[in-house]
Amino acid sequence: MLMPPVSDSPLGQEWLFDLVRGLMLRPERGQRPATRALPILVVEGAHGGGKTQLLAGLEKRADQRVPWARVDFGTLGAQDGAAQVLSSLAFQLGRSTPVYGELECPRLTTGLKAMQLKLKPDRRDAARAAVVEALGEERDRAALQEILRESAGTALDVVLAASGVSPSTSAGGLANVTVDALRDRLTRRPRGRRIVLGRYQDWYGHRGRGLTHNSLDVLVDLNQWNANPRVEGNGQKIGELLWDAFLTDLREGFDSARHSKDLSQSALILLDDVDTALGVSFLNGLAAVRGALDIGNRHGPAPVVFAATSRGVLLAHALPGEVAEVDRQERGALPPLDPVPAWLRVRLPDLTAAEISQALTERTHREGDESQLTTMITDLTGGHPASVSLLLTAVARHPGLWSEPAALLDVPATTTEIDPVGVGTLMERVLLGTDTQTRVNRDDLEICAVAVRRQHALWLGTGDDALLAGGLAGFDDIDRVLWPQVSGAAPVLLRRLLLRDLALHDKDRLPAVEGLPDPDGSVTLWGQAFGRMRQNTLPKRFAEEPPDSAQDTALTAEIATGLYYALASGDLEEVVTRFDLAVGLGSSASWLSALGTVVRAPRRRRAPATPALSPMDQMRALASQAPSMGRSTRHVAELVAALWVVNDPFLGNRRRILHRHIAHVLTGLVDRWPLDNESLYETAQRHEDAAGRWS
């Protein structure tokens, strides 16, 4: 049975441990455990979403309970391939585990040894003889492990380092590491049984499926495929053959074990960060080979569960019938798996407000009502797990700042570094990931963060006045960061943080109140970027050129997006003019819906030296930028400004009066929709209710 939950398990992931535990169970059939055909489990989530933590938790639960192995594809290099990864996995599965003993992979090791030989392809008989000679030698377990280690190369270095064996910096891979050290630290088995790999060469002829190939010819071919990696198809043939050998070894290892009747759970293989070229190729190869083997093998599937983590790239082009989905709302219950699909996908959800509240209580030990802080953290992070954790740590260290999320972002994230980074900066690093930070132009990334849609960002890199330093040359990388395959809170939060940094490009021109425009908006990079967006989505400015007809005042989705950009640039005059002209036209619900889209626009941060104003004073300062003419203009101006302030995810907890004012203004607009004002009343009531939850 797997290890019970540990105290440092990732918040909200216990159901995932239960899911994996269920997949690993081998139900009894004929008074002995049997393995079910199962898809490959793929856990999808953003950077900082808890994927690696999940694998670490599974590793803790599996250690000394079942055979397990782990590979991080993000640490592998261009020199690594399927053979190196399989060698690393087989090496790790050789750890001694109670009841299970040590899993050996003699068929895989036979193929790997054949690949290591220096054979002459033009002398077939001599090549066969060399294979026979190499495989005829008696080897103890340590020598077999050395074959795996040599084949794995750098793919095993990280594993050995984690076990206390230091990888070499030389080209040879591991220096001054004796076979005894490897055996003692990773296998912990005394010298004993000796194996002749030649006993397993025949398998390469029949492969357990009645094939009639000459096994020596197959091994010589395997050697030559490995010697000519650039020949198209060679890598695929190597992977298929070695996968077959590896899975057969696992199946035979369980069936022939001394306590085979007690092996109630499958082995566990953890594959982290599989969105690399090698990771995608490796997993696709596994899916293809495993499906074919499980269908045609009378012995049943291999007793192993594969759990991989991805940011959405691996299954981006998978067909619907190839992927089954796990619904968290069903507490991780398995969907129908008949027929068995290639993949079983779990999308890591963001944390709920209830989970954040639970973590707040457990980690900060604060007393009293935590609903305000829970709501502020939820609104700012969207529940992104790593970011929530960073904010909770900051609250615990700086309890006096709990009511101002923006201030928490600027405190040091750690207490040990000589030059510590702020919480907000560390959030960005987590959200971006190490690979992105080294590959993407940071300034261009911040500029593209202004775009709501991918196609809008393209406007920033074209023309003689392009704002992107690299033009569109690096746009594919930016695209993957801001509009990733995996949706959720991460890209939204990252965009918010990037825009905070974008405003700092013109530190000496920051406004006294968040959101106020520059006297000349085109001077700042913020003004130029959002101005470009507004010009392309809202070419006509009604504050200067009134509409030709009432039809032109319709607040379509496209117009709302343009007004979003206009508001972000500080053009409250245009936004208020447009919404004032639309008052009483169309339904009140559609008017409020468009307004809800617009007021989510980001506000340019204020100058640090200026005093912070209350939310009501911020509203008044912003509303003063709007025109004073029109029957409802004052109400609309205050409503736009107030909603813009209250929707700011960096806003503190002093919101009660502002919510009540919003409710009052909405009620004042009711008479403009005499036959259609229910939506106004309902929205006003929601803000009145919200007022009671804030200070």
Q: What's the pLDDT band for 403 if we cut at 50, 70, 90?
A: very high
CB 187 within 8 A of CB 145: yes
pLDDT confidence band for 197 (50 / 70 / 90): confident
Average the pLDDT over 202-208 and give the result. 91
Distance CA(419)–CA(431), nearest Å, equals 21
User: Residue 169 has what pLDDT?
Assistant: 37
The span from the CA of 279 to the CA of 74, in Å, is 9
Q: What is the pTM of this model?
A: 0.85
Of 77-81, 86-90, 559-563, minimum mean pLDDT range = 77-81
**Which of 30-44, 185-199, 213-227 has the highest average model confidence (pLDDT)?**
213-227
Residue 365: band (very low, low, confident or very high) from pLDDT cuts 50, 70, 90? low
DSSP string, 248-311: HHHHHHHHTSTTGGG--B-EEEEEE-TTSHHHHHHHHHHHHHHHHHHHH-TT---SEEEEEEES
Residue-wise pLDDT for 297-315, tens only, equals: 566 789 999 999 999 999 9
| DSSP strand pairing (343-347 vs 267-272) | unpaired
Q: Specify whether the CB–CB gap between 452 and 525 falls below 8 A.
A: no
pLDDT in tens, 12-36: 678 889 899 999 998 888 778 888 8
pLDDT at 343 over 80: yes
Asked if pLDDT for residue 378 goes beyond 80, the answer is yes
- At 608 the pLDDT is 86
Nearest CA-CA partner of 219 in 80, 108, 85, 81: 108
Closest CA to 317 of 351, 283, 291: 283
Residue 486: pLDDT band with limits 50, 70, 90: confident
Quote the distance between the C-alpha of residue 372 and its chain's center.
28
pLDDT of residue 293: 67
State the pLDDT confidence band at 655, using cuts at 50, 70 and 90: very high
On the question of pLDDT at 609 being above 90, the answer is no
Which residues have a Cβ under 8 Å from the Cβ of 603 and sit 6 or more positions away? 514, 515, 568, 644, 645, 648
Please state which of the ranges 376-385, 507-516, 538-547 shows the lowest mean pLDDT.
538-547
- What is the pLDDT at residue 438? 63
| Tokens at 48, concatenated | 């900082």
Q: What is the mean predicted confidence (pLDDT) over 71-79?
A: 88
What integer is the mean pLDDT of 115-127? 90
Is the pLDDT reported for residue 465 higher than 50?
yes
Give the separation between CA 500 and CA 497, rounded to whole angstroms.
5
Average pLDDT, whole number, for the chain?
86
Mean pLDDT lowest among 98-102, 274-278, 341-345: 98-102
Winning range, highest mean pLDDT, from 60-64, 161-165, 520-524, 624-628: 60-64
Residue 516 has pLDDT above 50, yes or no: yes
220-229, 390-399, 428-437 — which is least confidently predicted? 428-437
What is the C-alpha separation between 341 and 297, in angstroms, rounded? Answer: 17
Please list the alpha-helical segments (H only) found in 382-474: 385-397, 405-408, 423-439, 442-448, 454-457
Provide the residue type at 7 as one letter.
Answer: S
Cβ-proximal residues to 685 (8 Å cutoff; 6+ apart), any chain: 663
Residue 165 has pLDDT above 90, yes or no: no
Per-residue DSSP letter, 493: H
Give the separation between CA 246 and CA 234, rounded to whole angstroms.
18
Handedness of CA 167, 168, 174, 179 (dihedral sign): negative
Average of pLDDT values for 474-494?
A: 91
- Tokens 């399927």 -> residue: 82
CB neighbours (10 Å) of residue 123? Answer: 11
**pLDDT above 80 for 488:** yes
pLDDT beyond 90 at 178: no
How far is residue 480's CA from residue 47's CA, in Å, rounded to a whole number? 12
Residue 187 structure tokens? 């296998």
pLDDT for 172 beyond 60:
no
Pull the structure tokens for residue 422: 């702020």
Residue 185 confidence (pLDDT) above 70: no
| Tokens encoding 645 | 């302030």
Q: How far, in Å, CA of 228 to CA of 672, rounded?
A: 78
Q: What is the pLDDT of residue 162?
A: 63
Residue 328's pLDDT is what? 74
Spatial separation of the C-alpha atoms in residues 220 and 120, rounded to whole Å: 10
pLDDT bucket at 630, cuts 50 / 70 / 90 = low
Tokens 């395997």 found at: 222
Kindly give, in sequence order, each residue whose CB lies less than 8 Å from that of residue 187, ignoring residues fewer than 6 positions away.
94, 95, 96, 102, 141, 142, 145
The pair of structure tokens assigned to 648 is: 């700011």
Taking the C-alpha atoms of residue 531 and residue 537, their distance in angstroms, rounded to an integer, is 10
Q: Quick one: tokens of 209? A: 């499926």
pLDDT, tens only, 249-266: 999 989 888 878 888 899
- Banded pLDDT at 370 (limits 50, 70, 90): confident
Q: What is the mean pLDDT of residues 588-601?
A: 96
Is the pLDDT at 6 greater than 70? The verdict is: no
pLDDT above 50 for 170: no
